[in-house]
Structure 1
Amino acid sequence: MKIRAFSAEDYPRILEIYSRSKLDELRFEKQTFQFLPLEDDEKRLSALKESTIYVFDDGEILGYGAVFESEIRALFVCPSARGQGIGKQMLEFLLSQIHGNANLFVAESNAPAKALYEAYGFKVSDQFLTEYNGQPVYANEMVRNSGAVRTTPRS
């Protein structure tokens, strides 16, 4: 297994992982969301394309992440590959690509993701209302100071 730079031929698999994973981050919301494919989501696709993208490749791509300046813009693991530490490895790798403070955005209700980020020194710095596919959703910005010490997350 290795984390490597994204290449153009990885794009269909990125779209597939996104389609299988995106609504998971909203599963704790009270309302039901209609999935919007990444290729049809102008805002999120544009943010991804201007980022540096990495893939977790174990003979097949099982996850991907993206960084833009100090922001982690994406971290997705294929649902069938979860629980194997791929998300933790990707997060550690993405953090190694950021010099200084790091930030990311997460659905406020996504407690499992927030717990992982907190284990790596992230703290909620802001709450705001955003939208996904035209429906409102509260989100948090989380920030990690460059001097933060990672604790080993529980599996």
Structure 2
Amino acid sequence: MIRPYQEADLPAVLDIYAKSKLDEFAYEDKQFELLPLEQDPKRYTSLITSQISVYEEEKMLAYAAQDGADLRSLFVHPKGRGKGIGRTLMQHMLDRAEGEATLYVAKSNYPAKRLYEQFGFVITNEFMTDYNGIPILANKMVRKAEG
């Protein structure tokens, strides 16, 4: 079930982030150390200023955050993977996005990019960013508005 985020969900969101964030960098040739979301001002602010949706069955298994057509995050707890939850949340965000949807992803995060491509996203830009002080190549992906 997908429902709107509530303040009481924050501990579960932080837990899902902590258990999932470093998976984004699994294909990098560098070692990354987790910077907890609540200690990462840029990413934490991006989250709390977003419209957040959570996916739960008996407990929260995933969350997604967006600001209009800017898709800011999508994290699935390791125990919820392989069940279509990420795909369900992505469709939920796209159903609410108006116009051209954008997202940003680590260039090496091939599993996520394959999912996004299935939804019609294409890479439009490559740029340097960083995570916890370590430089990383990233891609901007865009999905043209339907219609």
Please give the range of the TM-score, normalised by the shorter of the 2 chains.
over 0.9
- Is 1:3 matched with 2:14? no
Give 1:3 shift: 0.4
**CA distance in 2 between partners of 1:147 and 1:8 (Å):** 33
What is the Cα deviation at residue 76 of structure 1? 0.3
Q: CA deviation at 1:59?
A: 1.8
Separation (CA, whole Å) in 2 of partners of 1:37 and 1:87: 21
Secondary structure of the equivalent of 1:83?
coil
What is residue 85 of structure 2 aligned with on the other side? 86
Q: 2 CA distance for matches of 1:95 and 1:147? A: 10
Establish whether residue 125 from structure 1 lines up as the match of residue 135 from structure 2. Answer: no
State the distance in 2 between where 1:12 and 1:40 align: 14
Please list every run of 5 or more consecutive structure 2 residues that lacks an aligned counterpart in the other structure. Answer: none
Contact 2:68 2:96 in 1 (8 A): no
Following superposition, the deviation at residue 38 of structure 1 comes to 0.1
SS in 2 for 1:35: coil
For 1:24, the equivalent position in structure 2 comes to 23
Superposition TM-score, scaled by structure 2 size: 0.98
Question: Equivalents in 1 of 2:32, 2:40: separation in Å?
Answer: 14
Counterpart code for 2:66: V
Alpha-carbon distance in structure 2 between the residues aligned to 1:115 and 1:26: 15
Query: Partners of 1:81 and 1:53 in 2: how far apart?
Result: 18
Q: Which structure 1 segments of 5+ residues have no match?
A: 149-155
- Where does 1:40-51 land on structure 2 (aligned, <5 Å)? 40-51=39-50
- Cα distance between partner residues in 2 of 1:16 and 1:135: 22
RMSD over equivalenced CA pairs, Å: 0.8
Kindly report which structure 2 residues correspond to 1:50-69, keeping only aligned pairs within 5 A, or say none. Answer: 50-69=49-68
Question: Shift of residue 33 of structure 1?
Answer: 0.4
- 3-state SS in 1 of match to 2:145: coil
Q: Following the alignment from structure 1 to structure 2, what is the Cα–Cα distance between the partners of residues 69 and 60?
A: 26
**1:70 deviation in Å?**
1.4
Superposed displacement of residue 57, structure 1: 1.3
Post-superposition shift, 1:97? 1.0
Question: Which range moves more in the overlay, 17-26 or 68-77?
Answer: 68-77
- Quote the Cα distance in structure 2 between the aligned partners of 1:65 and 1:31: 26
Q: Give the TM-score, by structure 1 length.
A: 0.93
